[in-house]
Structure 1
Amino acid sequence: MRTLLKIKNNYSRLIFNVVVLVVLTSLSISCDSVVEVTDPDIVTPESLNSEAGIQTLRAGSLGDLAVAMSGSAAGHGATTGLIVMSGLMADEYSYSGTFPTRREADTRNLQDINGDINTIYGNLHRSRTGAETTIDLLANFGGNPEVESEMQSIVGYAYVMFAETFCGGVPFSKAPADGGELIYGEPLTTEQMFNAAVEWFDQAITNAGSNDKLANLGRLGKARSLLGLGQIDAAAGEVAAVPSDFVYNIEQSDNSRRQENGIYIMTTVRRQFSIADGKGGNGLMYRSAMDPRTPWDGGTEFGQDDITLYYNQLKFNSSSVPVALASGIEARLIEAEAAASADDAQTVENIHNELRAAMGLSELDLSGISGEDLLLAHFSERAFWLFSTGHRLGDLRRLVDVYDMMPSSVFPWGPYFKGGEYNPNLKFLVPQSESNNPNYVGCLD
């Protein structure tokens, strides 16, 4: 894989580029000093093999996860993240820009050379390998269970995001911490990715010890993996102890363009991702519902394409607003899904109304609703709570893969509003850049 080859062949420069704490050496321009150039690559392999270096690697892994998930203001035309691109694949956003790679996601007519998907793919793998390297290097210093726990959860979430949004066939190569030869990964099926995530989260929960925040992060990640495996009751049991006010955020910052919240940049600043309303017939009415969980404004000017009326999301209303990776609200939603799958409408109603009351929302009445209708009512509520956090594409795929619903009944379908049709493909493709891996097979499904 091209990204991992960079880790192997030029590891220190990669870390320099990806860590959050980037320090550049100033160059003094004068007749006497113009040729006295200080090497800016100050994060060397030797400096990484230290306790301070481990914190640098940890920060780099978290930074790469933020860019992979939220995107950033850095890069030519900014960088898209998994959240907005998967929102296009699902029903959260409609594309109001001109980049063909993003329109591919909006219609689900993806190519394996899609540059945006390749960037997301690379950033997720960089976050994962940075976390794995942090864990490996900790062994040289007697270990640090809490740092290990957090990094194990980050690895687990990388597996989850690949399983939920990409097709089966993703390889997970490893760049040894000592700079040895790259170990090429074998392609994993979706089920194998979810199972691997469960193993990582089990380790994270064990190492968290009495640190409730890290334990809850691991529990939620494991539960999310179990949902993908169709083990709904087990998922609910895993999060029973997670309090409703828990949250673990992907942090964003105005400190640098790379750290800015890319959702805000791509929507409010660049007007390329417009909050949808009944997308493709099956999409939820995120605007018409006038729900405080999906705040928006706009509809009076065009998006970046100068054709599409633009509707701006307001959930992320600045470049420093964090994005929840895991939360206690999600824990309660997992419990509600278990009740819905058991056709227990009263429990589903009770859970949702308790959450709604905390936000001043009116009560739901689910009496007389059962079967698929109950599941869809729950998934609708879940979509509003978790809007634009990277859950919706995985949720729609679960309705198809676990609950056996027809894709044409839950995904945007039929005529596309800019011409053509929505494609029946439901997943990101393994990008062609992975063909550097001799084990590459593309998509298994």
Structure 2
Amino acid sequence: MKKLFKIKAKHVRWVLGTFILIIYTSMNVSCDSVVEVTDPDIVTPESLNNEAGLQTLRAGSLGDLAVAMSGSAAGHGATTGLIVMSGLMADEYDYSGTFPTRREADTRNLQNINTDMNTIYGNLHLARAGAETTIDLLANYGEDPEIESEMQSIIGFSYVMFAETFCGGVSFSKAPANGGDLIFGEPLTTEQMFTAAVSWFDQAQTSAGSSEKLINLARLGKARSLLGLGQIEASAAEVASVPTGFTYNIEQSDNSRRQENGIYIMTTVRRQFSIADGKGDNGLMYRSAMDPRVPWDGGTEFGQDDITLYYNQLKFNSASTSVALASGIEARLIEAEAAANADDAGTVQDIHNELRATMGLSDLDLTGISGDDLLLAHFAERAFWLFSTGHRQGDLRRLVDVYGMPPSEVFPWGDYFKGGQYSPNLKFPVPQSESNNPNYVGCLD
């Protein structure tokens, strides 16, 4: 990604708002004019040496994460985020548009020159690099443990998202905050990405001090990483103290097109991502279940492609609806997974029924269910709770990689509804743009 980061490295050093370059010039205009003009700097380095400045840096990093995960209304035809694209790779969405790059994700037959994925890859790295730069600048402009902790968790989540959705081989390059050339990262295996995430979340917990919100965010991130590593019991122990009512949101806003919720834009506004129902035979019946956790409408008009009957999601019903990055509900679901892994159907049932009661749903009866069937029952419940939040592709991969289930029994499989077949590929490739990194190897797995 040499070209991508060469262009953006200077920007990353001074991450502001929505990726605004901090301009610091000294103008001393001397001329025979009746008006002398002073350069109206947006933000100067000196202005960052305070709480307000650090909060500005923090906002820029979080804004980049929102674009990487949710997408936005900005860009030609809007910008896709990892949430909807990973939903296509899994069983959450059918593609009802005409962009071939998005159809590639729907069939999982992706090329490493896929422009949508290249954009998401770059945006996710930008969010990570911005958070790293914020942490580096804290040392120069005054310590703030809470900002440091939050940014460490954001870095951790970037590693998690790469590990869950991309193949092994992702490199994590470094743009020094004080200038200098980009430090090219070495490609990491999936296991190494999850392990690095654990380290970042451990740092975040240490930095958080007495902030329960940031401690819980780091605990959930670490637990998610441990799930990816197959350390199921340790994951459950990590979140035992996280309250069910906890939520940390990716904030969206209608203040600008870049800040708008890209999930809403790509579904309700552009009708390109339609809620699936039994996708590729193995997919869950998200529509037929008529479950309040996955609200929808539609089925009376076609999508953007004019051939696919369109079903619209209502979970994100405006451009300003936030997206949960981590929640206490997820903590309980992790505990339920540990119980399912231990073949404890009674505990799995109790956890799920307590959660279901909060939505007025009837109780599950898991009597006599065990082994893979119990795991699949749990993962189905998990899918409805976490629908369209960027979890499902990673969950299906975990069923394959950690629990040993055949991909053909987990992912959408067989004939694709628009012709052709679903690919056996389960992961996004490392984009060809990364080949500008001299350490590039493509996919390790």
Post-superposition Cα deviations, 1:31-50, rounded to whole Å, max 9, x if no partner, equal: xx9xx999787346665566
TM-score using structure 2 length: 0.94
Instruction: Kindly report which structure 2 residues correspond to 1:261-280, keeping only aligned pairs within 5 A, or say none.
Output: 261-280=261-280
Change in Cα spacing, 1:155 to 1:313, as seen in structure 2 (3 Å) is same
For residues 250 and 207 of structure 1, what CA distance do their matches in structure 2 show?
A: 21
- Deviations along 1:71-99, one digit per CA (max 9) or x if unpaired, are 01111100000000000000000000000
1:195-344 to structure 2, matched below 5 A, reads 195-344=195-344
Specify the code of the residue in structure 1 equivalent to 2:226. Answer: L
1:137 to 1:348, Cα distance in 2 relative to 1, 3 A: same
Using the TM superposition, name which of 138-147 and 42-51 deviates more.
42-51
* One-letter identity of the residue aligned with 1:163: A
Deviation at 1:22, TM superposition (A): 10
Cα pair distance change 1:48/1:173, threshold 3 Å: farther
* Percent of aligned pairs with the same amino acid: 82
- Per the alignment, do residues 41 and 300 of structure 1 end up closer, same or farther by CA in structure 2, a change over 3 Å counting? farther
> Match for residue 42 of structure 2?
42
Structure 1 unaligned segments of length 5 or more: list them.
Answer: 24-32
The question of whether the paired residues in 1 share the 8 Å contact of 2:294 and 2:384 is answered with yes
Q: Which deviates the most, 52-61 or 431-440?
A: 52-61
CA 1:85 to 1:37, structure 2 compared with 1: closer, same or farther past 3 Å?
Answer: farther
CA distance in 2, matches of 1:269, 1:322: 17
State the 1:209 CA deviation: 1.4
Matches within 5 A, 1:164-183: 164-183=164-183
TM-superposed CA distance for 1:180, in Å, is 1.5
Please list the CA deviations of residues 77-131 of structure 1 after superposition, one character each: whole Å capped at 9, or x if unmatched: 0000000000000000000000000000000000101111011111111110110
**CA apart distance, 1:10:** 5.2
2:271 alignment partner, SS class: coil
> Matched residues in 2 for 1:426 and 1:12: separation?
35
Could you report, residue by residue, the CA deviation over 1:339-371 in whole angstroms, capped at 9, with x for unpaired residues?
A: 000000000000000000111100000000000
Specify the SS of the correspondent of 2:300.
strand
1:133 aligns with 133
Specify the alignment match of 1:374 in structure 2: 374
Paired residue type of 1:232: I
Q: What amino acid does structure 1 have at the position aligned with 2:133?
A: T
Structure 2 vs 1, CA of residues 197 and 48 (structure 1 numbering), >3 Å: closer, same or farther?
A: same
Q: Note the alpha carbon deviations across 1:258-315, whole angstroms, 9 max, x for none.
A: 1110000000000000000000000000000000000110001000000000000011
2: CA distance between counterparts of 1:45 and 1:441? 38
- Is the contact made by 1:12 and 1:44 (CA closer than 8 Å) also made in structure 2? no
Residues in 2 aligned to 1:433 and 1:206: alpha-carbon distance in whole angstroms: 36
After superposition, the Cα gap between the structure-2 partners of 1:41 and 1:310, relative to the gap in structure 1 and judged at 3 Å, is: farther
Q: Provide, for residues 108-159 of structure 1, a one-character-per-residue CA deviation record: whole Å limited to 9, x for no partner.
A: 0001011110111111111101101111111123411111000000000000
CA offset at residue 216 of structure 1? Answer: 0.2
Alignment check: 8 A CA contact 1:16 1:22 kept: no
SS at match of 1:18: coil
Distance change in 2, residues 1:11/1:347 (3 Å): closer
Structure 1 residue 436: Cα displacement: 1.3
Three-state SS of the structure 1 residue aligned to 2:312 is strand
- Give 1:267's aligned amino acid: T
Report the TM-score when normalising by structure 1.
0.94
Which one-letter code corresponds to 1:54 in the other structure? L
User: Which residue is 1:114 aligned to?
Assistant: 114
Structure 1 CA distance for aligned equivalents of residues 83 and 131 of structure 2: 21
How many residue pairs align between the two structures? 433
- Decide whether aligned partners of structure 1 residues 248 and 10 sit closer, same or farther in structure 2, where only a CA change above 3 A counts: closer
